[in-house]
A and B are shown apart, each in its own frame.
Chain A
């Protein structure tokens, strides 16, 4: 068999390994479902009743695209844990000392993460429909929104791999994951940045997550940007540019970090 075919075969084998984990750990599935459910309850119903959306539209309509993006961002922590655990346990070294494709060692995890993300989005969309959220701008735009969400998930994957290889410890992975939360708060995920103080509004609008949130709201027909700033007005464009930029920076960093293991 050619090298390329082995790369594909090894990638599939390792992706299957990650997906098998879900079968053995139903608790993890329950958790990954519990998180969006809790978010919908907490933000949609508890805080949501006190939040006024500019334009006066239903908060849960407004919130769901934000929660989709939050799920994509929290995907970092899943990748981070997987990579750090394999490195700490010596599984990465075991794979590196085997005659398998080296590309597949990272590729398998990426593929599994994307499959997971897709399943996760489908489940969240179903839950959104249950609480009254829907898309209003046609199926084509809705699918485009899902594609942009997957693109974001793909770009943050590389951040997870890079950081995971850098720290190589399960404990540190837990600490780093905690940093994700503030990053999701200072964005347009939960509230419109136009209601924040001026300087914070700028930071929140330029948060790469906000562009995908804005794009998803636009494409699903879930509300206006409510801001006249350039970045808010070009959400769809930036929802493509930001992830490509993140990938262009972090994918080479991750690959270099991986190659540095033999130095």
Chain B
């Protein structure tokens, strides 16, 4: 592809909307042909970062390159190399799937014939051939998402931006999107995916950058992050206040991380590595200490857990990013 150069580089990106700092020196580097998961809560700056990288917004400071091209000075050339799928389905629902693909193909400056041929190919590839000539507003949520992705993939872009592609989608649609993304990646496309689902980043990304308040606060492979954060999360809910401190001490012995204590709910939780073995160990210790337990859970860590571990505060701090952008614009 781009002779070993990274497909996406961002260095010290800054952006503010009025008083609100959206990006505060964001750094990214995505090697060609890999998937970067940009993980963070609403308001962390994910959409702002994607908007700058896709030439929709100008940065206040810093520098960014996509496919070896500067997003500020070579914006038109960047637009020819990228695809963008956002949270909402940016398709014309009055038109059919085929007409959407032909329309956007023509706007990508394909000839009428090339646009028709490419539309037919993509309808086939994204499993929409049967519904090709029906109005898109009658499509299921999953079909609309696939059509949106197909439009992003019209010119086989070298870099694909997926901004929260599964937010608000039901589990089946999420799986569909995941499988489409995996196929595209297998074809060599570089993908930047933003999400606030840890499992989605885990499923799709080669590397994850955790974003908070406009900067990257942790970066690594999903495995490395999970090693750091624990593969699973053990929650204990105690019967009385006295048990909380004792349970926290026990969890601290089993987990590498400091347990998180919520006194109002009398709950203690911590990440563990060996799922059932760790849980058994915790329960035996709790029983031996004579601490009364109301509830026990072993679960996948969520974005909240990641944030509690990394920042000590919950992930739900920010307001909705797009709303802030609109209010400031």
Contacts and interface: CB of A to CB of B under 8 A. Distances in A.
To the question of whether A and B form a pair in one complex, the answer is yes
B189 interface: no
B76 A99 contact: yes
Contacts of A261: 56, 329
A166 to B, nearest CB: 9
Nearest to A102: B76
Nearest to A13: B106
Contact of B56 (A9, A97, A168): A97
Contact of B95 (A13, A20, A100): A20
A97 B95 contact: no
A234 interface: no
B135 interface: yes
A24 B79 CA distance: 31
A89 B108 contact: no
A91 B91 contact: yes
A136 interface: no
Q: Is the interface of A mostly helix, strand, loop or mixed?
A: helix
Nearest to B57: A262
Contact of A93 (B56, B99, B108, B109): B56
Contacts of A95: 107
A23 B14 CA distance: 46
Max count, chain A CB within 10 A of own CB: residue among B89, B90, B91? B90
A24 B57 contact: no
Given A10-B107, A17-B95, A263-B58, A97 B88 contact: no
A30 interface: no
B56 A260 contact: no
A94 to B, nearest CB: 4
B104 to A, nearest CB: 7
B86 interface: yes
B44 interface: no
A94 B326 contact: no
A98 B107 contact: yes
Contact of A25 (B57, B94, B104): B94
Interface in B12-67: 51, 54-58
Nearest to B107: A100
A217 B86 CA distance: 50
Interface in A76-124: 88-91, 93-100
Interface string B86-104: 1111111011000100011
26 contacts: A1-B109, A10-B107, A13-B106, A13-B107, A14-B107, A17-B95, A20-B94, A24-B94, A24-B95, A24-B135, A89-B88, A90-B86, A90-B87, A93-B51, A94-B84, A94-B104, A94-B151, A95-B107, A96-B56, A97-B82, A98-B104, A99-B108, A99-B109, A100-B109, A261-B329, A262-B55
Given A13-B103, A90-B86, 9 more contacts: A88-B88, A90-B87, A91-B90, A91-B92, A93-B86, A94-B84, A98-B104, A99-B109, A263-B329
Interface of B: 51, 54-58, 76-77, 79-80, 82, 84, 86-92, 94-95, 99, 103-104, 106-109, 135, 151, 326, 329
